[in-house]
Amino acid sequence: MIAVNDADTKHLFDNRYGTGQSTIDGIIRATDILLAGKSVVVAGYGWCGKGVASRARGMGAKVIVTEVDPIRALEAAMDGFAVMSMKEAAKVGDLFITLTGDMHVIGEEHLKLLKHGAILCNSGHFDIEIDLKALKRMAVKVEKNVRNYVDAYTLPGGKRIFLLGEGRLINLTAAEGHPASVMDMSFATQALASEWAAKHRGQLKPQVYEVPKEVEDWVARLKLASMGIRIDNLTKQQEAYLSSWSIGT
């Protein structure tokens, strides 16, 4: 087995730039929301979360990040985003985007705190990142398709919450997924990693392998060439210096 999602040519581009762009695309197609000035809560600051947070900020949103991992939370804070718990964020967010790969990131305790008109969507995993059973149980009225891909849930007291794409991946339900010009790297890496496994099958033990660096470098160089970009190569002296333990501090 090869851990393709851990490949740099996959998660640094497909997850970050692909999910970042296609998620915002799906949300705007479904809602026609103006992101400028809105408080956008991004749940999860992995590579998908990083991409969405970056693009939401680029469109003028006030981005809040929620996390359970202290390193990622610290990274988000030093990237300039507000970081807080989901309980805190639930009170102030206008748009919530889950990108965690886990379940019930927005649960009943958070749903009770949402503002009237809050929009919920998922772009990370299956339709369990938002606790849909709790949302349906709490609702006194459900209106399907108030807009394409938008359902309205009225909670006790008249507060309305809008759910996009039935809680499924918003970039696939309301948009077209990632652009082909970023998926090409992911698919090339997967194909070449499969070829590598087939060629070396007699030498491989039953375990999880990383994508070989030579495969990743080849994919990256092909992508650069397709973009008309040239980069430098190390000289023999530079290679010797980088591998030396006898020079430098």
How buried is residue 222: exposed, middle or buried, by Cβ count under 10 Å (0-12/13-18/19+)? middle
Band (pLDDT 50/70/90 cuts) for residue 247 is confident
What is the predicted pLDDT for the residue at 212? 96
200 has a pLDDT exceeding 80? yes
What is the predicted pLDDT for the residue at 248? 65
Instruction: Report d(CA 61, CA 163) in Å as an integer.
Output: 19
State the pairing for strand pair 95-98/39-43. Answer: parallel
Q: What average pLDDT does this structure show over 209-225?
A: 97
Torsion of CA 115, 105, 132, 82, to 10 degrees: 20
183 has a pLDDT exceeding 80? yes
What are the sequence ranges of the domains in the chain?
Answer: 16-173, 180-243
Q: What average pLDDT does this structure show over 217-222?
A: 97
What is the predicted pLDDT for the residue at 244? 86
241 has a pLDDT exceeding 80? yes
| CATH code of the domain occupying 16-173 | 3.40.50.720
Tell me if residue 151 falls in helix, strand or coil.
strand
Per the prediction, the chain carries an average pLDDT of 96
What is the predicted pLDDT for the residue at 249? 60
113 has a pLDDT exceeding 80? yes
Report the percentage of the chain scoring pLDDT > 70. Answer: 99
Structure confidence by residue, pLDDT tens digits, 125-160: 899 999 999 999 999 999 999 999 999 999 999 999
Structure confidence by residue, pLDDT tens digits, 64-90: 999 999 999 999 999 999 999 999 999
Band (pLDDT 50/70/90 cuts) for residue 214 is very high
Instruction: Report d(CA 249, CA 243) in Å as an integer.
Output: 14
Whole-model pTM: value is: 0.94
